[in-house]
Every structure is written in structure tokens, then in C-alpha cells.
């Protein structure tokens, strides 16, 4: 849960909601298990009373209705109230009409029943637009809640393995359907449709109640027949969207649609003329998706024939009996009218709109709720006492880092925790030591790092060079605690990283990744997402050489009011400013992964001095291909085949005449020519 990652969150409303969600998510998971268990028991012959409830609770529909009040309590109450009211009114109307007919028939004053009918009717009509309003609003709120839950599910785990897992990506795409509307309508529309279906059902039930006044067996017969339609046609309403084929088609159509319409691929799409090629793939997958649904939910002839037979028989019998009683005078004129209306009106409970609207919406909600635990499991990190985080729903209280522990290691940990709790020490930086670290990604068994031993000295800078794919970025990911080493340990000031409070550790680290985030938000938020005084932001920008890039309130994306997009190099300066701002706010370990790849000559040359000055006293890890920048670092490490091949200062490595020297000379030689008489001394 994200709330646990926040060291000191004020217990805000969403935070509480998140905690509640965790609990319910866990319950849901248990519910599912319980239902399966119950089914197994049933097969064995013993059916306990609890199994029925467990099975109901495990249903997607149950989950859907249970989540509505969380979307917005007031709206959910109004929504249900209106359903009940709108369901009851037609039955009342039928009764008042019966009274009215009797009054006219008996030549008594019709004023009473007339007024009653009028009131019921006016209410009935006027409730409709309000119900539709409430339904749309509730749908929007629900959609917002589901988005929130998804954001929490994806951002909560400490690691990022869950974001790189294919299986979970499938599930995420499926769960997002409430928003995309590829399978069912979008949620704002769905909730209205479901309300319509429920009103229908309520109307039908109301009519059956009225019919009970005629004779006890009539509602049973008619109601039974209409209810049976659900059972007979059940196969036509169920569609398993979680089958591999469906998910595959859905993901492929999502991917190709985005590829076709979003800006990211726009240039290459046009240069290479790929529009048609991509759209054809989209069409094929999208079509496969609807065909799959059509195939599984088409109306089967046999059940349909049975259904019609049953309906004709039940309706015919009741109406025939009613006619006979009317002829014999056993039932009065008004009553005949009321009962006949009730018989016909009972059809509202039949298989219909609700069977279409509810399953996709309910499936979406259930999928979203199930995603949290699944992602926590994949993305969570196993190490040390952080295992406690796997248990969802604990209080979002600040983690007591100085809590006394039984083991000696905990003593060390609490000392570290106490340091961070105080905030910035006179930044000395931390010493980070890799001990025999080996690593491979969960999806790929090829090792990226193996037997890596490396110490990043406290308060000094270390540059890492190596060929593409040598494991440089992976090393950084491990350092930031995004993955855990498969072998060996990473130690921070002598304590295993896996024993540290990850949130506290990350507060001490700041990083500029190669693919840093570009927030479509004002410049201020891009530099200091969590807030900082304007002076600090200003200084950080100035340190990154981006002092007069744009106003602090300028949104950094075209397509927003007063917004403007930045060039690649300008963005890179913003990213650097973000890291420098974090340093000013107390970060002491700085990770720079190719921070100048997109900068121009002047910028590249100057920014390193700026960065090194601004991060003085911090432990700095720099990854770069440019040896001109690398040489500024205190020490340089050449990474090859997942281990350290060379380590030393620039001068030492140059003197050693190894790989580093080879690569440096290669780059330098490009500048070395007869035009420069001063020459480059190699």
C-alpha cells in the first residue's frame, strides 16, 4: 500500500480509503478461495450454509455493488432509492388505475383515485431525469475511484517487476475497459444502463406482488417463467474476458491503436508510411475481439425454443384463468384490468438489458480490485523486515524506524533510521558497497550482473562506463532498490539495503534516469513535485543552466493553456534541476544515467561542473558514454559482462592502458587532426 511508503503521511481521506481497499481486497481474495473451497465441498456432497453466501460474495456483481458506496456514498444511496421508487411506482399506478376504473364503473366520485394516479404519475415521470443524472454522476465517480485504485495498485509495490510483467500488463489492459469502452460501454454510461435494468426488475417484482392479490399461484407461475429465461439463456450472457485469446486480442488492439493515433510514433509512422499497416493490425485484432464475444454469447436455438414455450404456457394459463373469472364475475372490472396489466408487466424481470450491462461493468470492477494484491505480490520486494509490507490494510501510520528490535541488526537499522528521521545531516553522503552482486530479470534468465564487487565511496563521485547492455542501468535500478539482487548484497554504510526502510533510503537518493519523467504540469511541479520554496526551485534551475527556460507556472507540454513543449535538451536540464532540487532538500546519493545525452556542446561541457559543484559532498554515480564528461569523476569503473573490469581515477586508468584507455582514445582521436597544431597529448 502506498500509504506505508509514505514515512509520515497525514491521514487523509484517500489514504484511509486506500487502507480500506487493502482490507477489502484481501477479503475478496479470501472470498474467492472460500468459494472454490465451497465448490469442492459441494462436489464432495456436503453443502454448508456458508458456501452459498461465500459464492455470492465471490461474484463480480457482488463486488460491483459493494464498491458503489465507496465511489460516492450520497450518490449511491440516491441511486438505490430512486431504483426502489421507480420500481414501486408502476405497481402503485396500476392499482390506482384499477380503483379509478371501479369508481367510474360504480358511478362513485373518481376524485380520490384520480388524484392518487396523478401524483404517482407525476412522480414517476419526474424521477427519470434525476435518476439519469445520479447514474451518470455515480458512474463518473466510480470511474475516478477505479482509476485511483489502479494508480495505487501500480505505484504501491516497492519494486517495478509487476510493471514489466506480461501477465499483469494483460490484466491491467483488461481492467481498464471501464474507461476504454471496447467491450462494454464506459462506466458513466454503464451505471445508467444498469440502473435501467434494475428498475425494470423492480417493476416486474412490483407487478408480481400486485398479481398475488389475484391468486397465490399466478405470480409464482408467471414470475417463475420469466425468471427461468435467465437460466435458460445464461450461456448467452456470459463471456469470459479473462481467457488468453481475449486478452491477447485486446492488448494487441490497444497497442496498435495507440501506435496509430498517438504522437510518440507519429514521425516514424509517416516517414515509413506505416499507417495502413498498423491500422490493419488494429482492425484484425479488434474484430477478433468482437467475434469472440459474439461466438460465445450468441442465442442458442434450443434453449430459446424452450423459453418461448414456457412463456406462452405460463402467460396463457394465468390470463385464461383471469378471463374465466372475469366472465364468471368472480373478479371485478377494475381488478381484471389491474391483474392483466400485472401479468404483462411482470415480463420486466426477464432476461434483457441488465444481463448485458452488468457483466462487463462488474467484470471490470472485479478485475481492478483483484489487481492490487496481484501486483503487490509480483512487484513487492522480499527482503528483510520489509516483508511485513506484503500484508495489506495495515494502518497508514508512519513507520516507526527506531522501534526496538530483538536482533542486533535491527539496532544498526534503527541507527540509520534515526539519521534519516533527523533529515539532512551535514551531507556526507552514504557509502554504497556491492558485494558479489548477481542479477537477472524475472522474465529473462540471462544474467545481467554476476559477481559484481564495487564500492562507491561516501561523498565521492564514481563514473560507470561500458558498452550498451553491460548492465549499467540495471546497477542503478538495484541501487535504488527497484529490484533486489538475485545473489550477493548491497550495503549502505555497512547495513544491507534489504534491511533498510526503503522509503527512508529513497529519500536519501535522487536520480536522473535516461528516460526521466516529463510531467505535463507547470515547470515548478516538474522541478519539485513534492513542493519546494520558489527560491530553491529557482536555484536548482539556475544550477542546471535552465534559469530562463520558462515561467514557473508554464505548463511543459503543448496542448495546454499557455503550455509549451521543450526540446530534448531543455527537458534534460529540467530533469537535472529536479535532482539538484532534491539535493538541496536533503538527498545525499545522486544517480545520473546519461544526463547529457541530449544536451548541446556548450551545455554538456558546462553542466558537469555545475552538477559536481551543486552535489559537492554527495555520493554521486554517473553513467555516461562521453569520456569527456566521465573524466571529471573522482573514480571511474569500466563495467563489462556484468562485472567490474577496471576501476581507478582517470589518470590511473589511462596509465593502465586497458579498455578505458582504448575507448577514451577512440573518442578523443576523432578530434585529433592536423588542424589542431596544439595537438592532443594522449
Within positions 414 to 473, which residues make up the interface with other proteins, using CB under 8 A? 441, 443-444, 446, 465-469, 473
* 220 is an interface residue for other proteins by CB under 8 A: no
Closest-CA residue to 131 (of 70, 187, 87, 73):
87
Of 96, 116, 100, the residue nearest 108 (C-alpha): 100
Per CB under 8 A, contacts with other proteins among 561-620 are 561, 563, 565-570, 578, 582, 591, 594, 597-606, 609
Is 129 an interacting residue with respect to other proteins (CB under 8 A)? yes
500 binds other proteins (CB under 8 A): no
Mask for 88-127, x = binds other proteins (CB under 8 A): -----x---x--xx--xx----x---x--xx--xx-xxx-
Site residues (CB under 8 A) for other proteins, limited to 48-87: none
Helix, coil or strand: residue 601: helix
Q: What minimum distance in Å lies between the beta carbon of 380 and other proteins? A: 12
Of the candidates 341, 315, 326, 318, the one whose C-alpha atom is nearest the C-alpha of residue 93 is: 341
Under rule CB under 8 A, residue 8 binds other proteins: no
The reply to whether 516 sits near other proteins by the rule CB under 8 A is: yes
Residue placing its CB nearer to other proteins in the complex, 36 or 268? 268
Stretch touching other proteins by CB under 8 A, among 50-58, 60-68, 352-360, 419-427: 352-360
By C-beta, is 43 or 264 nearer to other proteins?
264
208 sits in the region (left: phi over 0; alpha: psi -120 to 50; else beta) called: alpha
Strands (E), 371-474: 432-439, 449-456, 461-465
| Site size with other proteins, rule: CB under 8 A | 187
- Closer by beta carbon to other proteins, 53 or else 116: 116
> Near other proteins by CB under 8 A, which window of 30-38, 44-52, 306-314, 421-429?
306-314
How far is residue 462's CA from residue 460's CA, in Å, rounded to a whole number? 7
Sole binder of other proteins in the list 165, 378, 420, 526 (CB under 8 A): 165
For 446, 462, 463, 490, the CA distances from 454, given in Å and listed in that order, are: 21, 10, 12, 9
In the region spanning residues 382 to 411, those forming contacts with other proteins, defined by CB under 8 A, are none
288 Cβ neighbours under 8 A, 6+ residues apart: 245, 249
Using CB under 8 A as the binding rule, the residues of this chain from 534 to 563 that contact other proteins are 557-561, 563
Residue reference for cell 500484508 = 391
Shortest CB 45 distance to other proteins, Å: 38
Q: Give strand pairing partners of 308.
A: none
Cα–Cα distance for residue pair 355/679, rounded to 1 Å = 81
Q: What's the min distance (Å) between Cβ of 327 and other proteins?
A: 4
Q: Give, in order, the Cα–Cα distances in Å from 604 to each of 190, 541, 607.
A: 53, 15, 5
Q: Is 187 in the site for other proteins (CB under 8 A)?
A: no
> Alpha-carbon distance 170 to 253, whole Å?
12
Q: Pick from 436, 517, 547, 655: which binds other proteins (CB under 8 A)?
A: 517
Among 44, 45, 276, 423, binds other proteins (CB under 8 A): 276
Is 627 an interacting residue with respect to other proteins (CB under 8 A)? yes
Nearest approach, Cβ of residue 103 and other proteins (Å): 9
User: Grid coordinates standing for 178?
Assistant: 471501464
* Residues 6+ away with beta carbon under 8 Å from 205: 87, 223, 349
Query: Which residue in 92, 511, 544, 614 binds other proteins (CB under 8 A)?
Result: 511
Among 488, 629, 633, 636, binds other proteins (CB under 8 A): 629
- CA–CA gap between residue 667 and residue 327 (Å, rounded): 107
Amino acid at each position: 500500500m502506498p500509504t506505508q511508503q509514505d514515512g509520515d503521511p497525514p491521514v487523509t481521506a484517500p489514504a484511509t480509503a486506500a487502507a480500506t481497499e487493502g482490507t477489502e481486497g484481501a477479503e475478496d481474495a479470501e472470498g474467492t478461495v472460500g468459494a472454490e473451497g465451497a465448490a469442492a465441498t459441494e462436489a464432495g456432497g456436503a453443502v454448508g450454509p456458508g458456501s452459498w453466501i461465500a459464492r455470492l460474495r465471490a461474484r463480480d456483481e457482488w463486488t460491483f455493488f459493494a464498491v458503489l458506496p465507496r465511489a460516492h456514498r450520497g450518490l449511491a444511496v440516491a441511486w438505490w432509492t430512486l431504483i426502489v421508487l421507480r420500481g414501486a411506482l408502476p405497481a402503485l399506478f396500476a392499482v390506482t388505475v384499477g380503483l379509478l376504473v371501479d369508481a367510474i364503473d360504480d358511478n362513485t366520485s373518481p376524485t380520490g383515485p384520480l388524484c392518487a394516479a396523478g401524483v404517482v404519475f407525476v412522480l414517476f415521470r419526474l424521477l427519470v431525469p434525476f435518476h439519469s443524472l445520479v447514474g451518470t454522476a455515480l458512474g463518473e465517480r466510480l470511474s475516478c475511484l477505479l482509476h485511483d485504485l489502479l494508480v495505487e495498485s501500480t505505484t504501491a509495490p516497492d519494486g517495478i517487476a509487476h510493471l514489466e510483467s506480461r501477465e499483469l500488463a494483460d490484466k491491467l489492459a483488461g481492467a481498464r475497459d471501464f474507461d476504454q469502452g471496447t467491450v462494454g460501454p464506459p462506466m458513466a454510461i454503464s451505471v445508467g444502463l444498469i440502473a435501467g435494468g434494475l428498475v425494470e426488475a423492480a417493476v416486474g417484482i412490483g407487478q408480481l406482488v400486485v398479481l398475488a392479490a389475484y391468486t397465490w399461484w399466478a405470480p409464482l407461475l408467471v414470475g417463475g417463467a420469466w425468471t427461468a429465461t435467465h437460466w435458460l439463456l445464461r450461456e448467452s450472457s456470459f463471456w469470459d474476458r479473462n481467457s488468453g485469446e481475449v486478452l491477447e486480442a485486446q492488448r494487441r488492439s490497444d497497442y496498435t491503436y495507440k501506435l496509430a493515433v498517438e504522437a510518440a510514433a507519429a514521425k516514424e509512422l509517416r516517414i515509413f508510411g506505416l499507417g495502413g499497416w498498423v491500422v490493419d493490425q488494429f482492425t484484425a485484432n479488434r474484430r477478433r475481439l468482437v467475434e469472440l464475444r459474439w461466438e460465445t454469447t450468441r442465442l442458442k436455438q434450443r434453449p430459446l425454443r424452450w423459453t418461448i414455450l414456457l412463456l406462452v404456457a405460463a402467460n396463457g394459463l394465468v390470463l385464461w384463468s383471469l378471463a374465466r373469472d372475469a366472465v364468471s364475475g368472480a373478479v371485478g372490472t377494475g381488478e381484471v384490468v389491474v391483474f392483466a396489466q400485472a401479468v404483462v408487466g411482470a415480463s420486466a424481470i426477464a432476461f434483457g438489458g441488465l444481463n448485458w450491462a452488468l457483466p462487463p461493468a462488474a467484470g471490470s470492477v472485479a478485475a481492478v480490485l483483484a489487481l492490487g494484491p496481484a501486483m503487490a505480490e509480483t512487484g513487492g520486494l522480499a527482503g528483510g523486515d520489509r516483508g511485513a509490507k506484503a500484508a495489506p490494510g495495515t494502518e497508514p501510520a508512519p513507520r516507526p524506524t527506531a522501534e526496538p528490535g530483538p536482533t542486533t541488526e535491527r539496532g544498526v537499522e534503527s541507527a540509520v533510521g534515526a539519521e534519516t528521521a533527523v533529515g539532512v545531516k551535514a551531507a556526507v553522503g552514504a557509502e554504497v558497497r556491492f558485494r558479489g552482486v548477481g542479477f537477472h530479470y524475472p522474465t529473462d534468465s540471462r544474467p545481467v550482473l554476476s559477481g559484481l564487487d564495487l564500492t562507491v565511496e561516501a561523498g565521492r563521485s564514481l563514473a560507470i562506463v561500458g558498452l550498451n547492455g553491460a548492465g549499467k542501468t540495471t546497477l542503478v535500478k538495484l541501487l535504488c532498490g527497484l529490484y533486489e539482487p538475485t545473489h550477493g548484497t548491497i550495503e549502505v554504510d555497512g547495513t544491507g539495503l534489504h534491511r533498510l526502510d526503503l522509503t527512508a533510503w529513497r529519500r536519501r537518493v535522487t536520480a536522473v534516469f535516461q528516460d526521466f519523467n516529463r510531467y505535463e504540469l507547470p515547470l515548478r511541479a516538474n522541478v519539485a513535485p513534492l513542493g519546494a520554496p520558489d527560491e530553491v526551485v529557482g536555484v536548482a534551475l539556475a544550477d542546471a543552466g535552465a534559469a530562463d527556460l520558462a515561467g514557473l507556472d508554464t505548463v511543459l507540454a503543448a496542448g495546454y493553456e499557455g503550455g509549451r513543449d521543450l526540446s530534448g535538451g531543455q527537458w534534460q536540464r529540467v530533469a537535472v534541476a529536479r535532482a539538484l532540487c532534491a539535493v538541496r532538500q536533503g538527498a545525499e546519493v545522486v544517480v545520473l544515467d546519461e544526463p547529457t545525452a541530449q544536451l548541446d556542446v556548450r551545455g554538456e561541457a558546462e553542466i558537469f561542473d555545475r552538477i559536481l559543484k551543486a552535489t559537492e559532498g554527495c555520493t554521486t554515480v554517473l553513467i555516461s558514454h562521453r569520456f569527456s564528461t566521465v573524466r571529471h569523476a573522482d573514480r571511474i569503473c569500466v563495467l563489462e559482462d556484468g562485472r567490474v573490469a577496471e576501476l581507478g581515477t582517470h589518470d590511473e586508468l589511462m596509465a593502465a592502458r586497458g579498455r578505458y584507455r582504448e575507448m577514451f582514445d577512440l573518442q578523443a582521436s576523432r578530434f585529433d587532426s592536423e588542424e589542431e597544431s596544439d595537438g592532443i597529448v594522449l
